[in-house]
Structure 1
Amino acid sequence: MMIHGFSFLSLSASLVLPWALTGLVQGEKITESLVRDVRQSFTVQEMPLPSRKLISAVSTATTYYVSGQGNDKNSGLTTSSAFRTIQRAADLTDPGDTVLIMNGVYKNSGNAGSVVNIERSGNAKAWIRYKAYPGDSPKIQHNTWSGIGLSNGVSYIEINGLEVIGNNANVTLAYALNQKWNSSNRLTNGTCISVEGRVNAVHHINILNNKVHDCGGAGISVMGADYVKVDNNTVFNTSWYSVYGCSGISFLKSYNSDNNRGYKMFVTNNRVYNNRMYIPWIGAGKITDGNGIIVDVSKLSQGGSYRGRTLIANNITYWNGGSGIHAHDSEHVDIVNNTAYGNGQTSSLKKGQIYAGYSSDVKIFNNIISAYPGQKANSNMKNTNVTYDYNLYTKGAEITVMGPHDIIGDPQFVNPSNGDFRLKANSAAINKGYYWKDLKTDYAGKPRSAGRYDIGAYEHQ
């Protein structure tokens, strides 16, 4: 819900940090491919020689290495001369460069706003990539505003295969409640990955294959950005202790960097669970969010309502405090082939497992919406042109909106208590979905049926 918490600024409940502190939070961007930066060859005529000698100068991209056993006085150019901090590499990158991060625990130093603050951009033909070294499992652990921060208009950045751990293990609920009016406490309010574009808009960011958890604030927060892909991440145990209304994955006030009206924002193939608020949002004095995934107030984007489309597909969201997935005060959103189970763990949040509110041009198709008996499956608050169809609802759930091809049935999950939401052979979801031409594979990367899709994140194999 949109809540007006401050006299000078209308803020969404998914806002992670105060406007005054945006300088401490960094946005982040990522891409899917590395293109070498190859400059044109040139010729030099040497006089008075009778012939011309062709001299080629080729500049290739640089790979930097970071290791828990490294040293920032090293060159960073080989595994044996690796840097110790990711920031050292981030301060050197040029378009096309790759930072390979080896095993180690990487922490913020002193009062730094993040473990790594990314402000140097790639370009459309040469992204900058931050990746786990092949076979390694590096950990970014922090007790500050963000583990990884991207800001200052940064673009064409990829974050891939990292684990980001927040400060929840060092915070008690009693301490957090004592700090519920303290908006400047980085111990309780820190975000795992922060894409901050509200001052200088960021664009072309890919956040892929990361494990993100135990941050007092949001898991992955994207604010004032365009062309962002959040794909195949696992996000859990976030949003617990912040005084801001946070969620596992949140997109706030997406930014129009161009007039493209096609898909530009992607939240796909993520597993998002046990994200919830225990501390009231400071702007409203009550718990408002703790959702799995939210697209928030895109109608109030910089330069007017966000014009691009957002695709939320093949996600598994369960046991979150608020909704599994919802669009609030937003438009041009497609919520397709997701599985939502047992969300709404916060008893005061009763709007549904998957829903849209105060929104327009939203399509909610092919989702398994599994609510407890008597719990709301969906809702329809002041929407225009919001369509629910080809969804499966579980028996006993309260269904506010029922599309013409929606069904009530048993999804027959393999083992939901252990987070296994694959379908058994007798599932009511099999072959009951709509063919969504822009979605060819399921959560596991398996091809969708050429005919009728199965409902939910998994296609039965």
Structure 2
Amino acid sequence: MKNMTIFRFYLSSFQKYLTASMFLAAVVFSNLCEAAVYYVSASGGSDSSSGTEAAPWATVQKAAAVLTAGDTVYIKNGTYALNTHPTTKYLAPVNSGSSTAGWITFAAYPGHTSVLDGDNAVLPVGGLINIRNKEYIRISGLTVQNVDDNAEGIGIYVENSRHIIIEKNHVRHTDSSGIQVFTKSSQPGLPSADILIDGNDVEDTNLGGPNEMITVSGVNRFEVCNNRVHNRTVGTNGGEGLDIKQGAKNGSVHHNEIWDLNTNRPGIYIDAWDQLTENIDVHSNHIHHIDTHGLYIGSERGGLLRNVRIFNNIVHDNYRAGIYFPDETSFSGKEPLEGIVLVNNTFARNGVNVNWFGAVHVANPSITGLIVRNNIAWQNGRYQIYDIPAGVTGAVVSDNLLWGTTGTADNSRVSNGADKKADPLFVNAAADDFHLQAASPAVDGGADAALPADSFDQDGDSDTAEPIPFDYADNPRRAGSRVDNGAYERSTSVSSYTVNPSAGSGGTISPATAQAVNHGATVAFTITPNSGYSISSVTGCGGTFNSTTKIYTTGAITANCTVTTSFITDADADGIDDDWERRYFSNLTTVNAGSDFDEDGYSDRQEYLNSLAGQKDPQGAEYDPKVRNAPGGTGYAGRASFLPAVKLLLEKK
């Protein structure tokens, strides 16, 4: 489910599963068995120290060289310029964890913003975080940025490794992928397997290099879930949102949001390339405002793609088709797809601007056993579900609800009763709320027999033969006499969702327990920093923060979500992290929230915030409170009359 990740893998030819809770239990047990906890600090750390919290290391490279199975390193506030290390310009674990001794964990200190910065320097390896031929490694809560090296620089790279967790990281501004997991037969190690990519924020990647924002290639047993992939605005080589490809198998892609990819690349791409790629679930994703197709399902070089189930997705406002099955036989002479299931998705307003594509476009004539059922196709461009090519065998297109401009194939299916044409009566389509009203013809409008089996055991009851148990919002998939059309199931009762509060160290959030919130309602939380701390950020659930009252109010709740707040050490209460002030000025008195030490038009707090966000000024320079930055960036308010040098002379008198 969306907020309780079920991390299940195929363990043999018959289905057995290993859950995330078992992994966590292994970690807890290992911590009882002589596991060590270390610390890295950008303020006052030294690699010659012992690595304790009182005597932290200065670099993550030191931690990568020392940690052994079961160990954890917490990385504290600050920007760590990995390129300045004398020998190793990236983070690469030297050792592996193990199933008995436990995971090796690299994590942000709770509530801290820990930034690994590549300074856009050319890397001698694939990623700024580089995991090769390793096992049981966890990367958690880090910001990874500025790997735009014009040489295929990647944020987090995994190759020929097993049991890897990449969670809650923020990856941005990379030349190639933000997160990339590969199997490479030419390199040492076993094929990559047992990979979890969960809850990451990936943006502004693939600025010039190939591959995709999140890439999973040749991996056996994987889960890609709860990620936010967005805002890719430049670059023409690569850059699809999520790509599962080239021999990947036995995995799921779910509860991700992908939007604002503006460089002619689809949101989710499933591509066999030249290898057997199979047993993949794509469900409960939100894909919107892509400047080409929402989903793209194919085989560019003739590999067989089979047993792909696509269900409970919401796909809207994409420039071309909601989902596209291309005819790419010109590449390899064949493009075989088998057992593709497209069930209970909601497609809205796709292909409108180009007035050609619609919700579903099948151009590939080499598909066997295509099923398109129980979907809602609403107000898409030139048609709703395109005609199926003559070469496709065993296709079933039925029980879909269509509304808007219909093509010849649509009209034929409606006239013979296979599909139905009627307005689905969404709750508020203008606000992208595609829940169903009580009077919707989509209620009980689907076919129960079309529901795929719960092969990945979403509800944890060990019954993998039952139909999928949940809809897009993790509510029961069937609430009435029959399953509904579309991604949402209309419940006879008011839908209720869980809003989970989460506070880092240095303060509290109240209420501190999970809140049950009815559909469309809001909930407010009071954020209180401890003495000597300030609020760094409050995010989640589409809310707004009142800095005067310290109250965060969510937006209208339509799904389970989390409100997360973090705090910074701030003894002088100026809204600037104390470690940042000491790094530049060796004290807490020189600057404050309203000061502008270098008089470049950016307040010192604004320069802190810009650097924290990984921004650069309009001329590409890092924000520095002692160096004038170019005007016109975030928070620029105009320069004062004194030059910094004059100011310093006056201060000396």
After superposition, the Cα gap between the structure-2 partners of 1:374 and 1:220, relative to the gap in structure 1 and judged at 3 Å, is closer
Give the match for residue 243 of structure 2.
221
Length-normalised TM-score, structure 2: 0.49
Can you list the C-alpha shifts for 1:411-453, whole angstroms capped at 9, x where unaligned? 1111112211111111110001111252221000000226410
Query: Contact 2:128 / 2:147 at 8 angstroms: preserved in 1?
Result: no
Aligned twin of 1:316: 314
Q: 2:393 aligns with which of 384, 406, 410?
A: 384
Q: What one-letter code is carried by the residue in structure 1 that aligns with 2:484? A: D
* 1:390-430 CA distance string (max 9 Å, x none): 11001542251527442111111111122111111111100
Give the superposition deviation at 1:264.
Answer: 1.3
User: Which of 404, 407, 422 is matched with 1:409 structurally?
Assistant: 422
SS in 2 for 1:241: coil
Displacement after TM superposition at 1:220 (Å): 0.9
**Counterpart in 1 of 2:484?**
454
Which residue identity is paired with 1:211?
R
Aligned: 1:202 with 2:219: yes
Conserved 8 A contact 1:376-1:400: no
Q: CA deviation at 1:101?
A: 1.6
Please say if residues 353 and 369 of structure 1, whose CA atoms lie closer than 8 Å, have aligned partners that are also in contact: yes
- d(CA) in 2 for partners of 1:433 and 1:255? 36
User: Aligned runs of 1:175-194 on 2, under 5 Å?
Assistant: 186-187=207-208, 191-194=212-215
Q: Deviations over 1:46-104 (max 9, x none)?
A: xxxxxxxxxxxxx96454555662656899767559975395764388433322124x4
2:202 corresponds in structure 1 to 164
Please list the CA deviations of residues 333-358 of structure 1 after superposition, one character each: whole Å capped at 9, or x if unmatched: 000100000101452643x3124332
**Paired residue total:** 355
8 Å CA contact 2:145, 2:174 repeated in 1: no
1:105 CA displacement: 5.5
In structure 1, stretches of 5+ residues that fail to align are: 1-30, 40-58, 133-137, 168-184, 277-289
User: Conserved in 2, the CA contact under 8 Å of 1:229 and 1:267?
Assistant: yes
Q: 1:113 aligns with which of 126, 139, 153?
A: 153
Contact kept? 2:274, 2:299, Cα under 8 Å:
no
The normalised TM-score by structure 1 is: 0.68
Equivalent residue for 1:101, pick from 125, 136, 141: 141
Cα 1:365–1:205 change in 2 (3 A) is same
8 Å contact from structure 1 (residues 62, 97) kept in 2: no
How large is the Cα RMSD of the aligned pairs?
Answer: 3.4
Query: Relative to structure 2, which stretch is displaced further, 387-396 or 246-255?
Result: 246-255
Please give the alpha-carbon distance, in whole angstroms, between the structure 2 residues aligned to 1:247 and 1:384.
26
Matched, 1:432 2:445: yes
Aligned-partner Cα distance in 1 for 2:136–2:369: 38
- Would you say 1:231 and 2:254 are equivalent positions? yes
Q: 1:324 to 1:374 in 2, by over 3 A?
A: closer
Distance across 2 between alignment mates of 1:388 and 1:66: 53
Higher relative contact order (Cα pairs below 8 Å, separated by 6+ residues) = 1
Partner of 1:332: 339
CA distance in 2, matches of 1:63, 1:399: 61
Q: Matches of 2:286 and 2:108 in 1, distance apart?
A: 32
1:128 to 151, 164, 179: 164
**1:146 paired residue among 171, 177, 185:** 177
Paired AA for residue 400 in structure 2: N
Kindly indicate whether the alpha-carbon contact (under 8 Å) linking 1:67 and 1:84 is maintained by their aligned counterparts in 2.
no
Q: Are the structure 2 counterparts of residues 298 and 91 from structure 1 closer, same or farther at C-alpha, using a change threshold of 3 Å?
A: closer
Residue type of the partner of 1:106?
Q
Amino acid corresponding to residue 440 of structure 2 in structure 1:
S
Name the amino acid aligned to 1:226.
K
> Structure 1's 220 and 203: CA in aligned 2 closer, same or farther, altered over 3 A?
same
Specify the code of the residue in structure 2 equivalent to 1:361: G
SS in 1 for 2:78: coil
Would you say the 8 A contact 1:63–1:97 is kept in 2? no
The superposition leaves residues 169-227 of structure 1 with CA deviations (integer Å, 9 ceiling, x where unpaired) of xxxxxxxxxxxxxxxx94486731123x3xxx333222110000122521112220222
The more displaced of 451-460 and 434-443 is 434-443
Cα offset, 1:362, TM superposition: 0.6
Corresponding residue of 1:48: none
Paired letter, 2:293 = N
Letter in 2 for 1:459: E
- Secondary structure in structure 1 of the residue aligned to 2:222: strand
1:311 deviates by 0.6
**1:79–1:189: structure 2 CA closer, same or farther, 3 Å change rule?**
closer
Give me the whole-angstrom Cα distance separating, in 1, the residues matched to 2:148 and 2:174.
10
Compared CA separation, residues 100 and 381, structure 1 to 2 (3 A): same
1:389 aligned partner, one-letter code: S
Q: Which amino acid aligns with 1:231?
A: H
Pair 389,372 (structure 1): closer, same or farther in 2 beyond 3 Å: same
Instruction: Work out which of the two has the higher radius of gyration on C-alpha atoms and give 1 or 2.
Output: 2
Q: Which residue of 2 aligns with 1:371?
A: 379
CA distance 1:370–1:130, change in 2 (3 Å): same
Structure 2: give runs of 5+ residues left out of the alignment: 1-17, 31-67, 86-90, 94-104, 118-126, 185-190, 327-334, 454-467, 492-653
Q: Deviations over 1:325-378 (max 9, x none)?
A: 23345221000100000101452643x312433222110010001134853432
* Partners of 1:348 and 1:374 in 2: CA distance: 5
The equivalent position to 2:289 in structure 1, one of 262, 274, 277, is 274
Q: Distance in 2 between matches of 1:112 and 1:64?
A: 28
Contact between 2:447 and 2:482, CA under 8 Å: does it hold in 1? yes
Change in CA separation of 1:139 and 1:324 when aligned onto 2, cut-off 3 Å: same
Aligned mates of 2:212, 2:490 — CA distance in 1: 36
Give the distance between the partners of 1:361 and 1:440, measured in 2 at CA: 23
Seen in structure 2, the aligned counterparts of structure 1 residues 446 and 299 have a Cα distance that, compared at 3 Å, is farther
